[in-house]
Structure 1
Amino acid sequence: MLAPVGGWRTATVAGIDHPTAHGVRLRLDVPDRVDHLPGQHYVLRLTAPDGYTATRSYSIASAPSDPLLELFVEVLPDGEVSGFLDEVVEPGDELEVRGPIGGWFVWTGERQAVAIGAGSGVVPLVSMLRHARDVGRTDALTLVTGARTLADLPYADEFRAAGAHLVLSREDHDGRPAGRLAAADLAGLLTGAERGFVCGSAGFAETASVLLADLGMDVQQIRVERFGPTS
């Protein structure tokens, strides 16, 4: 399947909030928006009065059926784009965006899948989860989400309500001692899974993808997205 691609648009901020201590959620009205697939992302561009531009890529959290585009941005220390979105942007402001982009890390609901994310890497999993609910395929998606603490996990309530398996590295949760993702966390979750999705920091992505392979998943069916701060 060819993934949809959209060009530059001027989006209007319909809503903005701060659901975690270091995260900002944007709800954008994008005119003539091209419908995305769960797992795709958008590029956001800021232009200063002197013409200087900065662009960043952010995963989509909203389902394709959502009339608005939802992005979740991790606010980084000294982050020029994330800091601006966190401290300056208000409802009614206009932002330049381009998307959807990407065809490697997409899930349409047709295949049984296990999706693993940590930190802001859980954002594309939110889109997958919401799409699964829309098309009646929640049984085809197994979710494993991680963070340092529950308060640090974006969309924690939504993941918990969906029965996602939570892995917290610095906090005990629901009988699981604090600790990083391990094989025991994934044991029994791969039955029937035809594809694996992994999204997170470089270190987390490497660990999770190796665990999937060691547990028997075909490496050709493991889709990985790594992210990190932009200098």
Structure 2
Amino acid sequence: MHGWRRARLTERTKETATGRTLTFEVPHWPGHLPGQHVDVRLTADDGYQAVRSYSLAAPADAGGDRIELGVQAAFGGEVSPYLADDLPVGAEVEVMGPLGGWFVWTPQDRGPLLLIAGGSGVVPVMAMLRARAASASGDPCTLLYSVRAPDEVWYATELDAVAEGVRVRRLYTRTAPEGSRRPAGRITADDLLGMPPPTDTRCYVCGPTAFVEHVGELLLAAGYGPDRIRTERFG
């Protein structure tokens, strides 16, 4: 890991009403692993600085200097609303990273893959899915994606066209779409029925702290070993 690097915003993509993908050009970026994150530092004209962490949404661009970050604008937040909507394209911030070596997946990690994400917690999970697609892995993969309502799904179009061998289930906690067989509600043990068997399955769980703790308990109760479960939490 190196020190702070200049990062220039080149593109902003709307994912949800408050969620954005921000694409930055970072000269001499050293690369990263799916699941890692960076620290972003903003400096005001008066010298005041604020630092926040954001997950990388895509695997490393081979030999390139491009990174994608997922930013969820938090109501009343100091940094995320500015990054999500106000930082001008072409403007620069500073980034440090890549950071984190626990919540990562690479194509060399063989065996069934169970990804469970809550809300914007799908961002690092998406980096894993994209890396898996690029590697043409034949191992089975399942994504359980929990969101409050259909309009809060990140990467909706891409998830509708995931690579062969990937199963995606969307779980709605407040408002389920018309015709949905599963009523709205938090994830339960029943939602784990039919998932890849505990033996040899790698589990990655990302989302708000309460969500991650709840899912972790469900996985343990279902027989998934603690050594097979990796978590990333926020909030």
TM-score normalized by structure 1?
Answer: 0.91
Tell me if 1:76 matches 2:74: yes
Structure 2: how far apart are the matches of 1:213 and 1:19? 32
Name the aligned partner's letter for residue 70 of structure 2.
F
2:202 to 195, 199, 206: 195
Structure 2: how far apart are the matches of 1:7 and 1:140? 38
Report how far residue 194 of structure 1 moved: 2.6
1:55-70 alignment runs, 5 A limit: 55-65=51-61, 67=64, 68-70=66-68
Structure 1: how far apart are the matches of 2:156 and 2:46? 40
1:50-199 alignment runs, 5 A limit: 50-65=46-61, 67=64, 68-109=66-107, 110-112=109-111, 113-137=113-137, 139-162=139-162, 163-173=167-177, 174-191=180-197, 193-199=200-206
The aligned residue for residue 33 of structure 1 is 29
Identity of matched residues, %? 42
The one-character-per-residue Cα deviations of 1:85-132 (angstroms, maximum 9, x if unpaired) are: 123212111110111100010000223321111111110011000000
Structure 1: how far apart are the matches of 2:214 and 2:200? 19
Report how far residue 193 of structure 1 moved: 4.5
Structure 2: how far apart are the matches of 1:146 and 1:159? 13
Structure 2: how far apart are the matches of 1:27 and 1:136? 25
The aligned residue for residue 38 of structure 2 is 42
Structure 2: how far apart are the matches of 1:84 and 1:209? 33
Structure 2: how far apart are the matches of 1:141 and 1:103? 21
- Structure 2 regions of 5+ residues with no counterpart? none
Tell me if structure 1 keeps the 8 A contact 2:61–2:67.
Answer: no
Counterpart secondary structure, 1:126:
helix
Structure 1: how far apart are the matches of 2:216 and 2:81? 31
Greater CA drift, 122-131 or 135-144:
135-144
- Structure 1 regions of 5+ residues with no counterpart? none
What is the number of residues matched between the two proteins?
Answer: 224
Tell me if structure 1 keeps the 8 A contact 2:110–2:139.
Answer: no
Counterpart secondary structure, 2:12:
strand
Report how far residue 73 of structure 1 moved: 0.5
The one-character-per-residue Cα deviations of 1:190-217 (angstroms, maximum 9, x if unpaired) are: 2254321111111100111111111110
Report how far residue 72 of structure 1 moved: 1.0
Structure 2: how far apart are the matches of 1:93 and 1:78? 23
**Residues 128, 88 of structure 1: alpha-carbon distance in 2 compared, 3 angstrom cutoff:** same
Report how far residue 34 of structure 1 moved: 1.3
Counterpart secondary structure, 2:143:
strand
Q: Which aligned segments of 4 or more residues in structure 1 are displaced greater than 3 angstroms?
A: none
The aligned residue for residue 209 of structure 1 is 216
RMSD: 1.6
Tell me if 1:226 matches 2:224: no
Structure 2: how far apart are the matches of 1:158 and 1:125? 13
